[in-house]
Copies of this chain bind each other. A is one copy, B any other.
Amino acid sequence: MIFSSSSRLLYDEYRVQMRKIADVKNASAVLQWDQETYMPEKATAFRAAQIASLSELSHQLFTHESMGAILQELQSRDDLAEDEQINVALTWEDFNKQKKYPGAFVRSLSETASRSFHSWVQARKQNAFPVFAPDLAILIDLKKQETDLLGYDRHPYDALLNEFEKGCTVDMLDRLFPAVRQPLKDLLDRISQKPAPDDRFLRRHYPSQLQWDFGMQLILGAGFDFGAGRQDISEHPFTTSFSPDDVRITTRVDEENLDRMVWSCIHETGHALYEQGLPRPQYGLPLGEYTSLGIHESQSRLWENQVGRSLPYWTFWFPTLQSIFPDNLRAVSLKDFYAGINRVEPTYIRTEADELTYHFHIMIRYELEKAVLEGALRVGDISAWWKEQYRNWLGLEPLDDNRGCLQDVHWSHGSFGYFPTYSLGSFYAAQFFERAVQEIPGLTRTLSEGHTKPLLDWLRISIHQYGKRYRSAELCEKVTGKPLDFQSFLNYLLDKYQKIYDL
What is the interface of chain A, defined by CB distance below 8 A to chain B? 19-20, 23-24, 26-28, 30-31, 34, 38-43, 45-47, 49-50, 52-54, 56-57, 225-230, 232, 242-243, 245-246, 283
Determine the chain B residues whose CB is within 8 A of the CB of A57 once the complex forms. Answer: 20, 24, 57
Residue of A23, A227, A230, A232 contacting most chain B CB atoms (<10 Å): A23
Protomer copies: 2
Determine the chain B residues whose CB is within 8 A of the CB of A27 once the complex forms. Answer: 27-28, 30-31, 50, 53-54
| CB–CB A242/B23 < 8 A | no
Assembled-state Cα–Cα distance A39/B243 (Å): 12
5 A-B residue pairings within 8 Å (CB atoms): A20-B57, A34-B34, A38-B38, A39-B246, A40-B227
Contact pick for A283, options B34, B40, B46, CB 8 Å: B46
| CB–CB A23/B49 < 8 A | yes
The 5 closest A-B pairs by CB, nearest first: A43-B246, A46-B243, A23-B53, A23-B50, A42-B228
Assembled-state Cα–Cα distance A43/B226 (Å): 11
| CB–CB A24/B54 < 8 A | yes
Determine the chain B residues whose CB is within 8 A of the CB of A24 once the complex forms. Answer: 53-54, 57
A234 to chain B, nearest CB (A): 13
Residue of A31, A243, A246 contacting most chain B CB atoms (<10 Å): A246
Determine the chain B residues whose CB is within 8 A of the CB of A243 once the complex forms. Answer: 43, 46-47, 50
A425 to chain B, nearest CB (A): 26
Determine the chain B residues whose CB is within 8 A of the CB of A28 once the complex forms. Answer: 27
| CB–CB B230/A42 < 8 A | no
| CB–CB B242/A43 < 8 A | yes
Determine the chain B residues whose CB is within 8 A of the CB of A30 once the complex forms. Answer: 27, 30-31, 34, 50
Contact pick for A246, options B47, B52, B54, CB 8 Å: B47
| CB–CB A50/B34 < 8 A | no
| CB–CB B23/A228 < 8 A | no
> With A30-B31, A46-B283 given, can you name 20 additional A-B contacts, CB distance below 8 Å?
A23-B49, A23-B52, A23-B53, A23-B54, A27-B31, A27-B50, A27-B53, A30-B30, A38-B38, A39-B246, A40-B226, A40-B228, A40-B230, A40-B246, A42-B225, A42-B246, A43-B228, A46-B243, A47-B242, A57-B57
